[in-house]
Structure 1
């Protein structure tokens, strides 16, 4: 790490060689698939039980594609709510994942800047309206908002996922702020240009 490179976290960063076997395996897989280890992985590793719980919740919410919420749309929820929470790490990292999962090199940036003007269908505008309000003013979200999500075509499971994704990433946003975790430079370019074969 050079003097110009910010630390990965304001808290201890675990020695990769000393990680428990299950985390070491997961981290190696992520690094092999993406070509780098996301800083949030390194930042969470010093508390292995919490890292395991974090990634289990992440996978349960984000690694699925349902008729009401594709995995790309799930990432757009993260981008919009993280932007509302001023979380650079999650906007940059999940913006990259959203670009890949939506196969759109511009949409995540537009959602991050102002989701209300992004070229989304009415269903996703409703989803992001409710999600961003839940992220910033949770008491303002009522049963009527859940009804709007159902009327937009989301199942009860999808409606729950909107709330759970928003809540989970509110935790992630706050931890990233608290530990001052910077986004990896590699995230900035992912999904912007066609991948070389």
Structure 2
């Protein structure tokens, strides 16, 4: 972490992007103006995927917040447990982002689902109607609770969490479900707030062989 605060964030570019190419309603700093930690992360992402997801550029105008967001994202999403694989975690993101009408997160994380689940159709099925998606009972139970937390959090009960444990999730897994839904509720709303468009590259990822 760089320790950069919002008061010390990089200056906005002199010429904001045109509406046709804008990735945010807010300023997007030049790469060279970002703290080293973000520059390194952006370069690593570009090397792996061949492009920089628009959400990275959009969040980068608040460097301290961006670094905190990515750190929590990594802690929740970049791990495998018996109860929740990496693909399962992305499926939770797609289902709850669809419930929150977040085009960016559905498209971007749908691409990750296709890759991690090795299934070109599952993300679309989950986004449109997760109840009819070919998911095991464990994930059906996870999504039922996750959607409730996303759209009607006050209706979540202790019994909902107990049913997840009955499906083999540990307490850490149950916490992760809630934390993933909560983190991406933030992400969904910021994507709406800033009007972040999905990168075109996401639409074909996991559908056609990578060139």
Interval of TM-score (by shorter of Structure 1 and Structure 2): over 0.9
Structure 1 residue 175: Cα displacement? 0.3
Report the TM-score, using the length of structure 1 for normalisation.
Answer: 0.96
Over alpha carbons, which structure has the higher Rg?
Answer: 2
Do the aligned partners of 1:91 and 1:112 also contact (CA within 8 Å) in 2? yes
Q: Distance in 1 between matches of 2:27 and 2:118?
A: 36
**Counterpart residue number, 1:49:** 64
Task: List 4+ stretches of structure 1 deviating above 4 A.
Answer: 1-4
Q: Which among 157, 160, 163 is matched to residue 148 of structure 1?
A: 163
Gaps of 5+ in 2: 1-15
Match of 1:137 among 137, 143, 152: 152
Residue number in structure 2 paired with 1:12: 27
2:37 match = 22
Name the structure 2 match of 1:70. Answer: 85
What residue is the counterpart of 2:198 in the other structure? 183
1:17-46 CA distance string (max 9 Å, x none): 211111101101101110000000000111
Query: Who is 2:185 aligned against?
Result: 170
Deviations 1:94-133 (A, max 9, x none): 0001111111111001000000110101110000000001
Tell me the residue number matched to 1:116: 131
Cα RMSD of the aligned pairs, angstroms, is 1.4
Match of 1:91 among 106, 110, 114: 106
Q: Deviation of residue 193 (structure 1)?
A: 2.2
